[in-house]
Structure 1
Amino acid sequence: MKKIAFLSLLILGASCSQVKQQPTKPAPINVMSFNIRYDNPEDSLDNWKFRKDRAANAVRFYDVDVLGTQEVLHNQLEDLKQRLPEYGVVGVGREDGKEKGEYSALWYKKNRFDLLDSGYFWLSETPEVPGSKGWDGACERIASWAKLKDKTSGKEFFALNTHLDHVGVVARREGISLMLDRVNQLSGGLPVIVTGDFNSEPESDVIKHVTDPANPEHLTDARLASPVVYGPAWSFHDFGKIPYQHRPLIDYVFVRNGFDVLRYGVLAETENEAFLSDHAPVLVTVE
C-alpha cells in the first residue's frame, strides 16, 4: 500500500513539473493610436486644459498596453506622464530632437513590458538629422520606435508610431517608403505594430503602398484583418465640425509577422457633446 502511495506521489510530482514547464500563453495586447491635438489656445472650450483628464482616463479605461500619440507638445507630454505614471514613453520633440515641437510619443505599460531598445528618426532625406524637414513637407515629421518584451510570456515585438505630413504629397509617399524600410531593418523579424496619423484615407496611394502584398515589407491594416469592427468608418472630425458623411479615416494601426487581430474600434465618444480630441482614438486588440 505504501509502495502504491509513493508511486502515486511520484507521478503527481512529474505531472506538476510538466505543467510548470509549459510556456505561458501571451495575453492579448490593447493598442491605441491617438492624435491628442496640440495645445492650441485658439481651441476655446476644446483646448487641452479641458481635455487632458478625460484623455488620460480614456487610456486607462480602455486598459491600453501600447499607445501611439501624435501632436504631443512638451507640456502635454508632462501632463500625460503625471496622469499615467504606470507608462514608460519613447520620443523627442520633432523640431530639435529634444523638447521643441510635437512628439510622436510611444507609450508602453512598464509593469507588463521590458524596454529592450528604442529610438527615433525623421521622415526626411536625412533621417538622423534632428529637425530635418523632408521633401515637400510643411512640417518636420518624426517616428518613434521600441522593442518590447512581455515580462510574463517572454515574447518580444517591435512597435513604431509616426505622423505623416498633412501637405506634402511627396513627403507622405517617401516618408512611407522610409518608414517601411526602417521597420524592416529595426524589427529583426519580430512581430510588428505600427500606429499613426497618416493623413491619408484607405483608398489613397499612400495606404495602398503600406498594405501592398506585392511589397515584402508591407503591413496589414488592422481594420481589414479584424473579425469585429466597431464604431464609424472615420477618425478625424475636427471637434465635430466636419459633416458626418465627409469625415475621413486617417488614423491607423497596422500589424505584421504573426500578430492576430481580435477586435478593432474607432472611439467616437463624447461627454456632454465634448470630444476627447479632434481625432477619435483607434483601439485594436492583437494577440
Structure 2
Amino acid sequence: MKKLAFTAFASIVFISCSIQKHALQHEPTEMTVMTFNIRLDHAGDKENNWKFRKERVVKSIQFYEADIAGMQEVLHNQLLDLQEKLKEYSYLGVGRADGKEKGEYSPLFYKTEKYAVISSGTFWLSETPDSAGRKGWDAAIERIATWAKFKEKSTGKSFFVLNTHFDHIGSVARLQSGTLIMQKVNELAGKMPVVVMGDFNASPDTPVVKNITNSSNPLHLSDSRAVSPLIYGPEWSFHDFGRTPLEERELIDYIFVKNRVKVLKYGVLAEQDGAGFLSDHCPVLVKVQF
C-alpha cells in the first residue's frame, strides 16, 4: 500500500513539474546581450594599455548584467584575465590564427548558472570556412565567427548566438562575410531565436550592412537599433580612445536578431571615467525577448 501511495505521489510531482516547465516555455524570456570590442593588448597604447583598462572592462560587463557578451580582439592573455575576473561566466571560442590559442579570439561569454551549451563551434570568414587560419577574399588578416546553441536552464528554451569580427581592409571580404554569416545562421539555427553580434567594420549605409538587413532576402537579419522602441546613446560606436572627431565617428558594432526575437531596448554605452576609456570602441547593449 505504501509503495502504491509513493508511486502515485511521485507521478503527481512529475506531472506537476512537467506542466510547470511547459508553462514556462510559453512565457516570454528576456535576455541582456552585449557586444564589445575590448581592443587587443598592445604595448603602443601607453595609457590606454590593457593593464590599465581590464578592471573597468570587467566591471562594465558585470554592472550592465550582460547574460551573454560577445567580445572581439581578445588575445589569449586577455582571455585569461577575463576568465579569472568573470567567475560567473564561462566562455566559448578559439584563437583565429590556428584554431587554438594563437591570434585574436571572438569569444562568447555566458552566465553559467542561467544557460547550458547544446552545441558550439567556429568557422572562418573565407571561401573555406572549416579551414583554420585561412584569410578570405581580399581580407588583410584571418577572421573568425564563434557560434553556440544555448538552452535556458529555467525554461528549457533554446536559442542561437553568433559573434564575429569582419575585416577592416577588404571590402569584398566584408560583403562576402555577411552573406556567409546569413547562410551559416540559416544552416545552424534553423527556426531558433537568433542573435548575431560583433564588430562589422561597416557603417549602416554601406553595402555590407544593407546586404545583411535586406528584407527581400529570406535569410536577412534585423538591426536591433532599427527595430528597438527605446534607443540610448550616440549614433557611433568607434572613437579610437576619443581621438576621432565627433563628426567623423561611425557606428560599426552591431547586434542583429531573427526568428521571433523582440528588441526591448538598445544602447551604445559611450562611457569614460577619470581613468579613461574602456576601449577604442563602445560596448553595445540590447535587451531582447523571445
TM-score range, shorter chain: over 0.9
Q: Which residue of 1 aligns with 2:147?
A: 145
Deviations 1:251-277 (A, max 9, x none): 000000011000000000111161110
2-structure distance, mates of 1:186, 1:217: 12
1-structure distance, mates of 2:167, 2:181: 13
CA contact (8 A) 1:26 1:153 kept: no
Shift of 1:188: 2.1
**Pairwise mapping of residues 87-98 of structure 1 onto structure 2 (< 5 A)?**
87-98=89-100
**Pairwise mapping of residues 116-155 of structure 1 onto structure 2 (< 5 A)?**
116-155=118-157
Q: Which residue of 2 aligns with 1:283?
A: 285
1:225 aligns with 2:227: yes
How large is the Cα RMSD of the aligned pairs? 1.4
- Under a length normalisation based on structure 1, what TM-score does the superposition of the two structures give? 0.92
Shift of 1:167: 0.2
2-structure distance, mates of 1:26, 1:56: 29
2-structure distance, mates of 1:77, 1:21: 36
CA contact (8 A) 2:21 2:156 kept: no
Shift of 1:120: 0.3
Q: Which residue of 2 aligns with 1:268?
A: 270
The aligned amino acid for 1:114 is: A
Q: Which residue of 2 aligns with 1:23?
A: 23
1:51 aligns with 2:53: yes
1:70 aligns with 2:58: no
Q: Which residue of 2 aligns with 1:168?
A: 170
Deviations 1:97-137 (A, max 9, x none): 10000001111111001100000000011111110000110
Shift of 1:88: 1.4
SS of 1:145's equivalent in the other structure is strand
Identity %: 55
Shift of 1:20: 4.3
2-structure distance, mates of 1:125, 1:194: 20
Shift of 1:21: 6.6
The aligned amino acid for 2:123 is: F
2-structure distance, mates of 1:265, 1:224: 12
2-structure distance, mates of 1:42, 1:254: 33
Relative distance call for 1:54 and 1:21 in structure 2 (3 A) is closer
Shift of 1:230: 0.1
- Structure 2: gaps of 5 or more residues: 1-11
Shift of 1:154: 1.2
The aligned amino acid for 1:276 is: L
The aligned amino acid for 1:281 is: P
**Pairwise mapping of residues 228-239 of structure 1 onto structure 2 (< 5 A)?**
228-239=230-241
Pick the aligned partner of 1:178 from 177, 180, 185: 180
Q: Which residue of 1 aligns with 2:193?
A: 191
- Structure 1: gaps of 5 or more residues: 1-12
CA contact (8 A) 1:26 1:155 kept: no
CA contact (8 A) 1:26 1:152 kept: no
1-structure distance, mates of 2:110, 2:221: 21
Q: Which contiguous aligned blocks of 4+ residues in structure 1 show a shift greater than 6 angstroms?
A: none
Structure 1 residues 28-37 or 266-275, which shifts more? 266-275
2-structure distance, mates of 1:195, 1:62: 17
Shift of 1:27: 3.5
2-structure distance, mates of 1:43, 1:282: 22
